[in-house]
Amino acid sequence: MKNSANLASPRPNVVVIGAGFAGLRVVQGLAKACVNVAIIDRHNYHLFQPLLYQVATTALSPADIAFPIRRIFRSQKNVECVLGDVTQIDLNRSCLTIDNAQEIDFDYLIVATGATHSYFGKEEWLRNAPGLKTIDDALQIRKRILLAFEEAENELDEAAQRAKLTFIIVGGGPTGVELAGALRQIAVKEIQKDYRHVDTSTARIMLVEANDRILKSFHPKLSAHAMRDLEKLGVEIRLNGRVTAIDDQGVKIGDERIDANNVFWAAGVLASPLGKSLGVELDRAGRVIVKPDLSVPGYPNVFIAGDLASVTSSDNNKPVPGVAPAAMQMGEHVAKVIKQEILSKLPVEKRAPFQYRDKGSMATIGKAKAIADIHGWRFTGFIAWLMWSMIHLMFLITFRAKLFVMLNWAYTYIFQTTGARLITGEFKPRIRKFRDVTPN
């Protein structure tokens, strides 16, 4: 079934797939353009992914970092919000299919569907080592963390209790580092007094990294500083560690077997599978290799933005990293190109190439601990943590979110406790030998 309303309109139809950072910036950039815009996403919300780990570690609730798409664009009259899953794209016919049912024509298409987890060919590890890309992932990880402490509280078998209190994070990038630091903070500072029969501070938090240092994208001095901070917190770091097996009882690092009931994956990303459906050239990570203006070779009306795009910045010829600021800038660039072509009939050959402006890198490690590299200026400790906090607050979309997150952080900082510690959904505790819970 075709979208006949769009076909009847003389205004160009712009379709944006994905309501992440790139997709939102495209739509916002076209607010005053004489176009019809449709933004399609399988969820009805935009997710602020940089704070997703805080949902997983009970510091924030999902509503603090997820915002309804219709609410975001309710004042932008040229936008239609569509809840659905794009199942097919026909570049030659300039149309796409939603949920194998409805077809929508486009004059311009922007694919900004991001990336997912990469298990490097070991997809069976997903069941026992969830990654952290969506709210569902965060809630699953949070459930596993909280259940682990509950089970340890009532477990008499010492070996089983140690396994429940062993948390292994695979991958020493920003997500892995932030998750490891927050987990250690929970165990030592935030929940220790809530349990009577187990000392949560004995929890073993291990960060496994295949390279020779964590946070490989940062300056070596900052990486070393972050590693020292994590070790002071009590996080065990394994460098040059290759995970060779994962099951529901633990992991193997090389030939060493470690019993652990909780394994979390932060080691790699794989581009959205929608890129493959385009039938164009991809890089090793499944990203679409685009032209300097972010368009698909041979299809000047189709753009790729965000983590799905494989592109080098025109000013320094370096690969553009898969980070939120880059996605935002790509979205802004695509919107500008479309507006120029509509207003001034600028030929395709005159399009400006995309230039990535590196605004710096940051990673938080724990309470009042972070690292930051801003245009060559390097910061650590409380100052870096304060900068990290302010910048993340600034990029949250709504005033309500900024206020709630700021109050949550202030409460946690002062009282060393978090409020989002609910175990939801069905679960069955795995306890080998139950402690006697009869009241005295």
What angle, 0 to 180 degrees and rounded to 10, lies between the N-to-C axes of helices 324-344 and 21-29? 30
Could you count the other beta carbons within 10 Å of the beta carbon of residue 1?
A: 9
Total H helices, total E strands in the chain: 12, 25
Cα separation of 19 and 26, whole Å? Answer: 10
Catalytic residue flag (residue 178): yes
Query: Measured on CA atoms in the order 364, 368, 374, 376, is the torsion positive or negative?
Result: negative
Q: Which of 153, 178, 209, 341 is catalytic?
A: 178
CA angle, corner 398, sides to 60 and 333, nearest 5?
110
- Closest C-alpha to 135, from 5, 46, 228, 232: 46
Amino acid identity, position 67: F
User: Is 44:68 a contact under the CB 8 Å cutoff?
Assistant: yes
How far apart (Å, rounded) are the C-alpha atoms in residues 280 and 56? 36
Residues in contact with 232: Cβ distance below 8 Å, sequence separation at least 6, in sequence order: none
The residues annotated with a catalytic role in the active site are 178
